[in-house]
Amino acid sequence: YSSPSPLALCRLTQVRWSRYNPSFLEPEVNKELYQKPWEELSEEEKEKVELKAVQPIKAAPPSVSSSVFSDPMISKFTNMMMKNGNKVLARSLMAQTLEAIKRKQLEKYHKAPEDEKEAIECNPYVIFHQALKNCQPIIGLSNITKGGKTYQVPVPLKDNRKRFLAMKWLITECRENKHRRMLMPEKLSQELLQAFNNEGPIIKKKHVLHKMAEANRAYAHFRWW
Q: Which parts of this chain interact with other proteins (CB under 8 A)?
A: 1-4, 8-9, 11, 18-20, 27-29, 31, 34, 47, 50-60, 62-63, 65-67, 69-70, 87-88, 91
Question: Toward other proteins, which CB reaches closer, 56 or 147?
Answer: 56
Distance CA 195, CA 190 (A): 9
Q: Min. distance of Cβ 138 from other proteins in angstroms?
A: 35
Q: Which CB atom, from 79 or from 172, has the smaller least distance to other proteins?
A: 79
CA pair distance 174, 185, nearest whole angstrom: 9
Tell me what percent of the chain is helix, strand and coil, each rounded to the nearest 5.
Answer: 60, 10, 35
Nearest CB to other proteins, comparing residues 60 and 106? 60
Q: Residue 124: how many CB atoms within 10 A of its CB?
A: 21
**Closest distance to other proteins from the beta carbon of 83 (Å):** 17
Cβ 39 to other proteins, closest distance in Å?
15
- DSSP track, 169-185: HHHHHHHHSS-TT--HH
For residue 97, give the nearest of 34, 160, 170 by alpha carbon.
170
Burial of 77 (0-12, 13-18, 19+ CB in 10 A): buried
Question: Which of residues 59 and 119 has its CB atom nearest to other proteins in the complex?
Answer: 59
CB of 60 to other proteins, least distance (A): 3
Q: How far is the CB of 211 from other proteins (least distance, A)?
A: 40
Of 53 and 119, which CB lies nearer to other proteins in the complex structure?
53
